[in-house]
Amino acid sequence: MEVLMVLVGTILRILLLVWMLQKKLGLGNQFAFALDCLPFREEETSPILVIDFLQMDAGQKEMVVNFLLNNGAEAVGTSGQAFRFLNWVTLLVARDDLRYAHPEFFYNENGGQFSGQAISRNQTASTVIITSETDKKWTLREVPQFFEY
C-alpha cells in the first residue's frame, strides 16, 4: 500500500509539472512521456530548457534548435521545444555562444545592437528551466529568460 501511495504521489507531481508547462508553453502528453522516459542522472541536476518560440519564424526556430543540439543539448521529445543539458555550465555556455553567433534571436526592453545586429525590444521567446531532484521528481526553476539580453 505504501509503495502504491508513493507511486500515486510521483504521478501527481509529474502531472502537475506537465500541466504547468502545457499552460505556459503549450506542451502536452508527448512531452510528459518524453520527460518520464529520461534516465535520471544522480551526479548532476541536468537542466532542461523549454522554449516557446513567440516571435521566431520556422527558419529562426530551426537555427536555434540546430545550434543547441550542436552545442551540448539533447532533444527531449519530438516537439523541438525542450532540450536537456549535461549541467548548468553547458547550458550557459550554449546560451552565450548562441548570443554571440545570433544576437538577433535575443531581446532587451531597451533594444540596442550587438555586432551590427539589432536586438529586439519585444520578447522573442519565452523559456522555463526544469531540473530533476530525484528520479521522477521535477522542479520548475525561477531563472532569468534564456533569450533576454
Q: What is the pLDDT of residues 61-85, one digit of tens each?
A: 999 999 999 999 999 877 788 899 9
Q: What is the pLDDT of residue 19?
A: 57
Q: What is the pLDDT of residue 77?
A: 79
Q: How far is CA 79 from CA 27, 31, 43, 73, 85, in A?
A: 8, 8, 27, 14, 16
Residue at 55 is within a domain: yes
Exposure string over 87-98, b if 16+ CB within 10 A, otherwise e: ebebbeebbeeb
Q: What is the pLDDT of residue 78?
A: 75
Give me the amino acid identity at 64. Answer: V
Q: How far is CA 109 from CA 80, 101, 124, 147, in A?
A: 26, 20, 11, 12
Number of domains in the chain: 1
Residue-range definition of the domain harbouring residue 98: 2-141
pTM above 0.85, yes or no: no
Distance CA 116, CA 123 (A): 19
Q: What is the pLDDT of residue 80?
A: 85
Parts of the chain with a pLDDT under 50: 3-11
Helices and strands, number each (H, E), in the chain: 4, 7
Q: What is the pLDDT of residue 41?
A: 59
Residue at 111 is within a domain: yes
Distance CA 4, CA 93 (A): 41
Residue at 108 is within a domain: yes
DSSP 8-state class, residue 61: H
